[in-house]
Structure 1
Amino acid sequence: MTTLTEVARHAGVTPATVSNVLRNRGKVGAATRERVLASVEALGYRPNLTARALAEGRGPTLALMVSSIANPFYPEFALEAERAARKRGHFLLVCNTDDDSNVGSAYLDRIAGTLSQGVLVMNADLHFDDLIKTQRRGASVVLCMWERPDDPPGLSCIAVDFRQAGRLAARHLLELGHRRIGAIVGSAPNGVQAIRYVGLVDALAQVDASLPAKLEQETRFVEDDVEGGYAAAMDLLDASPDLTAIFVSNDFPALGVLHAAADRGLRVPEDLSVIGITDIHWARLSRPALTTVAVPTAQAAEMAVELVLELIHDTPKEPTTWIAGEPQLVVRKSTGPAPSRG
């Protein structure tokens, strides 16, 4: 690998001059600059960004922490965040914690403040104290897709009103005449997706005060994946075969519900309506195409990159909350009028 010293020798200048040319700083004459760049091209020199980051105490990258790269929502967010970072002259390093807080802590220890001065955190099961320590070490932290805009987390964040997303999904089912509704939530009862369920309960209570009590018996909290949705749907349909609709807090397990309905010989939406939340790409490709509540993923990713870069250059005294656009109902083929069952 060609070194900076070799480039300097080839161009007949000092290593400091080569460094100034590559970083576009310092006073370097036009002829000297052209000679250095010609040497860089001739020798195929590429800066060692890792070494530079360690030497200068700052990194050329932004880090994005996600809990599971297998969940298609996170790659979609990462794609938008990478585009936003690249547009601003940065690289994006995606760190998959695999739902393990110890892995996430190790990433923070080794990356934040060295390879990366900014860390974007999705639902990565990281301890709040670890994130605070990361900030104290000089790295800016932004929580992405925070689900409760009215309850800021104590760290800077990009928030999306997921409670409203839950309400929109529920109102759609209610407007179609559904009253025997089951729910599948892709987290623990007090987990990250619980606020979406609260939105469902809000909407049901506005129509009929007895509906939330019925829903409580017809709700399952599961792993946020296709298998979790499939198993929960099978269980719900065994326990309550008269259900006409299933609300799912995320599109990924909602795909599992569609598979379960097919295996039970149920027609969607003639026998059973299914609705999810987020609008991942696979929601459009499923058969039938999944009705869902779209959240502003691209906008939130763009805002997250913009905010973390602002924090890097000017850290505020108090955490900052930016709110992304409103969730939007997207009606496709998986929901229809409630069937009459006598």
Structure 2
Amino acid sequence: MPTLSEVARHAGVTPATVSNVLRNRGRVGATTRQRVLEAVEALGYRPHLAARALAEGRAPTLALMVSSIANPFYPEFALAVERAARTSGHFVIICNTNEDPHTGRAYLDQIAGTLSEGVLVTNANLDLADLHTTESRGTPVVLCMWERPNEPPGLPCVAVDFRRAGELAGAHLLELGHRRIGAIVGSKASGIHAARYEGFVDALRAGGAPKGRVKHAADTIQGGYEAARALLESDPKLTAIFVTNDLPALGAMHAAADLGLNVPTDLSVIGITDIQLARESRPALTTVAVPTVEVAGLAVSLLRELIESSYGQAGRPTTSVPMRIASPPELVVRASTGVPRSR
């Protein structure tokens, strides 16, 4: 396998110049850059990533921590992150915590700062204290999809106004004429979906509608199925169900079908996020879309800025904690919501 020095000799430049061209750094003239790239192609040179990491004390990879790779949202988000990271020559390591904080801490201890230059975190059930510890050791951390823009977490983050998403969902159901509305929250009462439910309740309050029954469930299709059955069996006159995420919303539609209810004629269902399955379900799920691709791009960009700056370097104080605010959520009306029919 050819070495960087051999590429340099072939191109008639120094090894440092070859490194600058391959990492898109430094000032290299167009003619020299082209000569280096031709040498790389002619010799079939490929950088040795592990050796580079040891030599430079940094790895050309970013770690993305997710709570469950089985949840379709996370592969979609990971794909967007990978595309954004690739523009800067970074690779992405997916760290699936399986909703286990001990696994998450193990990833932070073993990967952060060694196999990865920085860490992106998306609802991975990690304690903020653990992330602060990682940051204090010199590895930048960025929280993705932070759900409360008005309550900064004390760590760099990209925030989405999920409370507003809940408001949009509630307002949509009220505009259709629904008043008996149940809710399924895909987390504990104080969990990550709390802001979404709070926004939904705000909409009901503003519309003069009563707050209906609420069930807290696992953020899965099965969790949504079980919660919807419980809601509908306890209150058969419900005409709509608001769900804080698309996956359990799909489960709610399955439960309605098993109970002999037509969606949306007998029961309207609305979710939040707009995953691919929401578009492909039958009926297609009405939801409040969040800017997933935009968030991924902002998160990668912010993490790269932190890596290149002194932010988070061990022993170096910071003056402020950056937050990027993504575009507002948007209502996407599909076939799972309609005007209520009295039952």
- Per the TM superposition, whether the score is higher than 0.5 is yes
Mapping 1:110-149, distance limit 5 Å: 110-149=110-149
Q: Which residue of 2 aligns with 1:253?
A: 248
Match of 1:190 in 2: 190
* Cα distance in structure 2, aligned partners of 1:27 and 1:171: 55
The size of the alignment, in residue pairs, is: 332
Determine the structure 2 residue equivalent to 1:337: 339
Aligned partner of 1:310 in structure 2 is: 305
Q: CA 1:10–1:307 in 2, change beyond 3 Å: closer, same or farther?
A: closer
Question: What root-mean-square deviation, in Å, do the aligned CA atoms of Structure 1 and Structure 2 show?
Answer: 2.6
- Identify the residue that residue 267 of structure 2 maps to in structure 1: 272
Q: Does the aligned pair in 2 maintain the 1:11–1:36 contact within 8 Å?
A: no
Q: Residues 100-179 of structure 1: matches in 2 within 5 Å? A: 100-179=100-179
Q: What residue is the counterpart of 2:63 in the other structure?
A: 63
Deviation at 1:65, TM superposition (A): 0.8
- Distance in structure 2 (CA, Å) of the matches to 1:299 and 1:259: 31
Amino acid at match of 1:241: P
Provide the C-alpha distance between the structure 2 equivalents of 1:241 and 1:62, rounded to a whole number of angstroms: 49
Instruction: Check if 1:21 corresponds to 2:18.
Output: yes
- Residue in 2 aligned with 1:225? 220
Q: Could you tell me which residue of structure 2 aligns to residue 96 of structure 1?
A: 96
Q: Which runs of 5+ in 1 are unaligned?
A: none
Query: Is 1:301 aligned to residue 296 of structure 2?
Result: yes
Name the CA distance, whole Å, in 1 between partners of 2:233 and 2:15.
71
CA contact (8 A) 2:2 2:44 kept: no
**Alignment CA distance shift 1:323-1:13 (3 Å):** closer
SS of corresponding position for 2:63: strand
1:24-39 equivalences under 5 Å are 24=21, 38=39
Name structure 2 gaps, 5 residues minimum.
312-317
State the alpha-carbon separation in 2 of the partners of residues 65 and 191 from structure 1: 18
Check whether the contact 2:285–2:335 (CA below 8 A) recurs between aligned residues. yes
Give, in angstroms, the shift of residue 268 of structure 1.
0.4
Distance 1:274 1:44, change over 3 A: same
Change (3 A) 1:150 1:35: closer
Partners of 1:110 and 1:283 in 2: CA distance: 36
Q: Which deviates further from its counterpart, 321-330 or 85-94?
A: 85-94
C-alpha change, 1:331 and 1:13, in structure 2 (3 Å) is: closer
How far apart are the structure 1 equivalents of 2:241 and 2:28? 67
Q: CA deviation at 1:51?
A: 2.7
Structure 1 residues 47 and 179 mapped into 2: Cα distance closer, same or farther (>3 Å)?
same
Contact 1:18 1:36 (8 Å CA) reproduced? no
Q: Deviations over 1:2-49 (max 9, x none)?
A: 2638x74995899x9446524438999989x959964x5566442221
SS of residue paired to 1:114: coil
Matched, 1:79 2:106: no
Structure 1: distance between partners of 2:338 and 2:114: 53
* Residue in structure 1 matched with residue 3 of structure 2 by the alignment: 4
1:208/1:20 CA distance change after superposition, 3 Å: same
1-structure distance, mates of 2:292, 2:280: 18
Shift of 1:55: 3.0
Distance 1:326 1:131 in 2: 27
The amino acid across from 1:331 in the alignment is V
Q: How far apart are residue 136 of structure 1 and its match?
A: 1.3
The one-letter code of the counterpart of 1:4 is T
Deviations 1:37-83 (A, max 9, x none): 64x55664422212321332111111111111111111111111111
- In 1: Cα distance, 2:188 partner to 2:144 partner: 20
User: 1:117 touches 1:138 (CA, 8 Å); kept in 2?
Assistant: no
Query: 1:248 touches 1:254 (CA, 8 Å); kept in 2?
Result: yes
2:87 and 2:10 map into 1 onto residues whose CA distance is 34
Q: TM-score, normalized by length of structure 2?
A: 0.89
Deviations 1:159-203 (A, max 9, x none): 010001001000111111111111111111100001100011111
Q: Is 1:240 paired with 2:240?
A: no
Q: Do 2:2 and 2:43's aligned partners in 1 also have CA atoms closer than 8 Å? A: no
User: What is the aligned counterpart of 1:325 among 321, 324, 327?
Assistant: 327
